[in-house]
Structures are given as C-alpha cells and as structure tokens.
Amino acid sequence: MKRFLLLTLSMLAVCLLLLAVCFIMLPVGRIGDIYPRIVTPRQQSLVLGTSRAAQAINPAILDSTLADIYSPGIYNFSFHIDLSTYNEQYARATRLKLAPSDGQRNWFILTVDPWAMKGDLEETNELRLRSVSRRPNLEFLCKHFQRGWFSPLPTHCYINERGRTEIDYKPQSERDRQRHIAQKMTTYEQMAQSYAYSEASELVLDSLIADLLSRGDVYLVRIPTSGAMLRIENRVCPDFNERMTRLARRHNVSYLDFTADTTFVTNDGNHLIQTEGNRFSHLLARAIRGVVQSDK
C-alpha cells in the first residue's frame, strides 16, 4: 500500500511538473483570451467592448497615429460577448485595470453595438477577481483552470502585448468562408429571437463614461460589420443609434458610427479579418483626430 501511494504521488508530481513546463514555455498570448489580459500591468487608456472590438481595433496603429495627441499607449481590454457586455462585473474589472492617473491626457474607446447591450446574457465569473493585472494570476488559475481555457496545442488565436486578438485562420476557399458566415448568422438569428435591449447595461455604460471622463477623453464607437449582421442588428434594435447618440450628448462625447460602410470583410459575418481591422484602426484614428481638431 505504501509503495502504491509513493508511486501515485511520484506520477502526480511528474504530471504537475510537465504541466508547469508546458505552461511556462507556452506564450502567454496563447493561453485563452482572458488570461493574457489579466496578467498585464494596469493601464492608463483602454479599449472596451466585446470580441468585435478585440479583433478589430489595433492599439499599435492608434498609438503611432495619434502619438502627438495621446502619449499613454492604449490597451485593448475587450473580451468575448458573454463576458464583456456592459455589466457590473466588466465595469468593476475595468476600474481595477486602471492605473493611478499620471496627469496626462488619457483616452478611452468604448465600443457599442446591440449585442453589447443585451441584458439576458448570463454573466460568467472569470473577471470576478481581486486583481486583473497580476502575473501569474494565481486566483484565476485556481478558480478557472478547469474551464478549458488552457491548451498546449497550437491555436489560430493569439492575444498580443497590447491586448488585440490576432486570428491567423484562413478558410481553404471562399465557399468555406461563406459556410462559416452562414453558421454564425444562424447563431445570431437565434439570439435575435430573445433579444431585449438592457436599460441596466445602459446605466452601467453611462456610469463608466462618467468615471472615465474624469481621467481623459471618451469616444463611443460602433465598429463596421457585414451587411447581414447589420440587418439583424437594425431589426432587433432599430433605435440603437438614437439611444447611443442621446447617451453621447448627455456626456458631451463623440459617437462615431462606422456601420454605413459594409464593404469591410469579415471572417464570420461579425468580426473583421485582421487586415480589415488594421484598415479600420487607421480610419478610427483619423476620425478621432478630426474630433480633437474640431474641439480646439
């Protein structure tokens, strides 16, 4: 019995050691889409939103293009939709991610679309942490390791050092891409059946805007998407732009809506492919520069 216990403990120790080696060797950017963003340092300026923002907005392009206006680099703190709709948990994590104000002109891009304001999505608890800027984040590892966010196998998804989600997957053919888009649209058509705009989400967003304005400039941004997705969004929430416009006016911030341009290429009808995200980031930077210049 004693020998069996020793053998079992030895095997367990070897397995844990191998797992630790794999964990250390694997780039942190490949460890899910949550962990890479909660081990980076606290930030002065942030991009907020769902995975549409995580993939579309390239902080490196914004930083280089607007360096003469905003000196602190901006970090993409966006997550997948069931985590970062505008809810209290996401708002709390956002406030935890902020470093003490450095007195410089900070800036915040809060991306919005009807899905980010969907009230009946079940909140998960991955961001219910004491710190979202600690490496290693042992609390997250202990609570959520079992949720399947870690895989030693290569993936097509990488979270870079500025928080952007980089997808290197390319369909084998246009037919495969269209099939993938059709599947995604089916998912959103199902979500549309139970869609309800959440006034509670708007209150969370309203509070976030007020808090962030005390630190710098705030921009509400609606990212372009496919025509098929836009038609669904316009159907489930036809007054969405009016709601965001009123919210922006209430705080005297700009609402930048780019959805009129449906020529941007997506990988699934929702998320811009990486090169199109770069193109959009340049367009967004020019729009922000225009806002700053018009305010002078």
pLDDT tens, residue by residue, 202-233: 999 999 999 999 999 999 999 999 999 999 99
User: Where is pLDDT greater, at 175 or 214?
Assistant: 214
Residue 57 domain-assigned (yes or no): yes
| Alpha-carbon torsion angle 41, 81, 244, 267, nearest 10 | 100
Range of the domain at 100: 31-295
Residue 3 domain-assigned (yes or no): no
Residue 230 domain-assigned (yes or no): yes
Q: What is the CA radius of gyration of the chain?
A: 21
In this prediction, residues 6-19 reach a mean pLDDT of 56
Helix (H, G, I), strand (E, B) or coil at 285: helix
Helix (H, G, I), strand (E, B) or coil at 129: coil
Residue 70 domain-assigned (yes or no): yes
Helix (H, G, I), strand (E, B) or coil at 212: helix
Residue 272 domain-assigned (yes or no): yes
Q: Identify the pLDDT of residue 244.
A: 98
User: Where is pLDDT greater, at 27 or 184?
Assistant: 184
Please state, as a whole number, how many other Cβ atoms lie within 10 Å of the Cβ of residue 280: 21
Q: What is the CATH number of the domain that holds 64?
A: 3.40.50.1110
Bridge partner list, 43: 98
182-194 in b/e form (b: 16+ CB < 10 A) is: eebbeebeebbee
Residue 190 domain-assigned (yes or no): yes
Residue 122 domain-assigned (yes or no): yes
Q: Give the confidence band of 122 by pLDDT, cuts at 50, 70, 90.
A: low
Q: Identify the pLDDT of residue 24.
A: 47
Q: Provide the domain count of the chain.
A: 1
φ and ψ of 158, to 5 deg: -140, 135
Is residue 98 a contact partner of residue 42, using CB atoms and an 8 Å limit? yes
Q: Give the confidence band of 190 by pLDDT, cuts at 50, 70, 90.
A: very high
Judged against a pLDDT cut of 80, whether residue 31 lies above it is answered with no
Residue 19 domain-assigned (yes or no): no
Is residue 281 a contact partner of residue 246, using CB atoms and an 8 Å limit? no
